[in-house]
Structure formats: C-alpha cells, structure tokens
Structure 1
Amino acid sequence: MKRRLFLSLATALPALGLGRARAQDAPSFTFPSVDGGEYDTADWRGRPVLVVNTASLCGFAGQLADMQAVHDTYGPRGLVVLAVPSDDFNQELASGAEAKDYCELQYGMTLPMTDILHVAEGEVHPFYAWLRAQTGFVPQWNFNKVLLDPQGRVLGTWGSFVKPGGRQIIGAAQPYLS
C-alpha cells in the first residue's frame, strides 16, 4: 500500500530532504484558490493534473481558451486543468480577482484558478520548488505546462509554444483518462 505524504506550504521543502525528491516522492500541495479557500492536490489523486502558469497580459494568453477547451473535453474523463496566474514576468493584472474576471470575460474560463503566485523567482510556491528539485524545470516564461500522473509524479514539462491541447500533452495524459 502506498503511503501519501501531505505537506503544508511551510513544510513542503524541508520534508523533501535537501530540496531533492526521488521519483516515488509525490507530495501533495495546497494552492490558494482565487475564489478563497484552497485546492489540495491530494483531492485529485487518481486523476492526471495539468498545471499551467498563466498571465492575463501575455501574448500567449489565447491559450487560456485552449485550457478551457481541454477542461471541457477531458475534465469529464478525469483530467484536472489548474491555472496558476503569476506576475514573475510582469504580465499579470494587479490582483487575482482582476485576473479571474478577465479570464472569465475574455475566455469563458471556469476551470480551477489559483491566486497570483511566484513560479520562477522570489519566494516560489512549494510546488514549483519541488518541480525544480524533482526535474530541474523552471518556467522560463508564462504558459509553461506541467503534467502530473494520477499519483502526482511529473509526466512531462513543456514551454510556452506547446498548446495545452497539443498532441504531446494530451497524448501523455491519454493513458490515464477514463
């Protein structure tokens, strides 16, 4: 029987041991929801999860529509799509509430969205610190994608030019969809 490791934001990095994680280490992370409350990746165990760092004012913002289409098409089959707004590249609106309103109005987004977080610089969210320790991947720009398997392990990472609904991502998620 596999043991789940639940970590809070304050304990995530030390629990990983010197910032390095082994492939079998698949901790759970909590993300602050833009709507209040939080998302806990433990609630999504058994489902693949696509995490995308977003920015409302980025030239790649059209991918928000693609993220919603992926959510609409593959969500019923088990795929979770999580938008993580970040201003690390100076292209996000002033608040999470503004980003949410913009995404809803411009792209009809209804998928889970976090509050604005650091993903590449400053005090990065523990998920992104774990991702860096696990794979060496650090978002180099907005709209970088990370696909997790149903146990929370990294299946793949992609840069801005790969669309959320692209064959690379959907192909990697396909074996885990119902």
Structure 2
Amino acid sequence: MLVRWLAVPAVLMVFAGSTWAGECPSLLQGSLPKLRAKESIDLCQRFAGKPLVVVNTASFCGFAPQFKGLESLYQRYKDQGLELVGVPSNDFKQESKDGAETAKVCYVNYGVTFTMTEPQQVRGPDAVHLFKVLAEQSSAPKWNFYKYVVDRQGKVIANFSSLTKPDSPELIEAVEQALASKP
C-alpha cells in the first residue's frame, strides 16, 4: 500500500514535468548570459508564451543607430507583452571583444532597456541554440541587426534584413501579428 502512495506523486511529477517541457518551444530551450550581469537568462522561463523580437547586434556596425529604433519599438509595445532580445555577435567582425564596451554602447550611448546578452555566435555550426532554431525556421542572419519576429508559440512569423528599420510598416505589422497570436 505504501508503495502505491509513493508511486502516485512520482507519476504526477513525471507528467507535470513533461507538460512543462511540452510548453517550452524548441526556440526557447536553454539560457544565455545577460550582458554585464552575473545572471543567466532562462529563455523558456522568461519568454515562453510571449511575442518576441530577436536581433543580432554589433556595437561598431553602421546599423548600430538602430538601437534607438529598437528601444522605441520595445517601449511602444512592452505594455502589450512584447519582449525584445538583443544578441551581440562578432560573427561579422564588428563587435567589441570587451563586454564592458558592448554594454556602454547599448546602455549608455543608446539607452537600451530591453534584454541584451553577452556576445554569442549567431551563424554556422557553433551558433547558439536560439539562432540555430531561428535559422531552421527562417534563415541565418545575413548581417548585423537582422530581425526575427516570433509569435507566442515560438514560431518565426517574419524576419527582416539589416536594411529594415525598426519603425518600418512591415516590421510593425509583424509585431502586431505576434502580439495578436494565441499562446
């Protein structure tokens, strides 16, 4: 009788764990270190069920002024649940090797308040999991400030080149579509 009572909670834990794991889309599995912080961002815990814009950034890229537009986009839609994640990368040889300098560009020069990670690889076999899945669902970034709009189920609904400004009607339309998506 005691064995049966012990087995029930164990079975419930297995089902609860598999349900939770099933709710986390592949895109959001794993974690990334937050820029200039001692914490890591558990992508699933932080972003599951939320509309998301993911951008690979570079401090010394000619498109770096887009940080201001990205911040404006975030401020415009954050109260509706939009999350924005910037992932610095030196894959195109335009990011600082020093995280402190990257943080200065983002936080001081451009006033970024959305989530930024430590620099990561975003292309090829060594790309972080997030960008491998983004590439599988759409395409790998072709340059810095490549933008992905992800719905609440963790599916890319649109991606945009570096030339697409954060306030472009096409990007805004995709963000609003992601906001309207069902969890």
TM superposition score normalised by structure 1 = 0.80
Structure 2 match to 1:165: 167
- Alignment-mate amino acid for residue 139 of structure 1: P
**Which 5+ residue runs of structure 2 have no aligned equivalent?**
1-17
Is 1:143 aligned to residue 151 of structure 2? no
Paired with 1:115 and 1:131, the residues of 2 have a C-alpha distance of 18
Q: CA deviation at 1:97?
A: 2.4
Counterpart contact for 2:34–2:118, Cα < 8 Å? yes
Counterpart contact for 1:26–1:151, Cα < 8 Å? no
Is 1:44 aligned to residue 13 of structure 2? no
User: Does the residue aligned with 2:119 lie in a helix, a strand or coil?
Assistant: coil
Paired with 1:116 and 1:99, the residues of 2 have a C-alpha distance of 8
- Return structure 1 stretches of 4+ with deviation > 3 angstroms: 2-6, 175-178
Q: CA deviation at 1:122?
A: 5.6
What whole-Å deviation, never above 9, does each CA across 1:75-108 have from its counterpart, x for those lacking one? 1111111110000011011222220112122111
User: Does the residue aligned with 2:28 lie in a helix, a strand or coil?
Assistant: coil
Rg bigger for which structure? 2
Equivalent in 60, 63, 66 of residue 63 of structure 1: 66
Is 1:74 aligned to residue 77 of structure 2? yes
Counterpart contact for 1:5–1:26, Cα < 8 Å? no
Larger proportion of helix: 2
Residues 146 and 104 of structure 1: CA distance in aligned 2, closer, same or farther (over 3 Å): same
Residues 159 and 27 of structure 1: CA distance in aligned 2, closer, same or farther (over 3 Å): closer
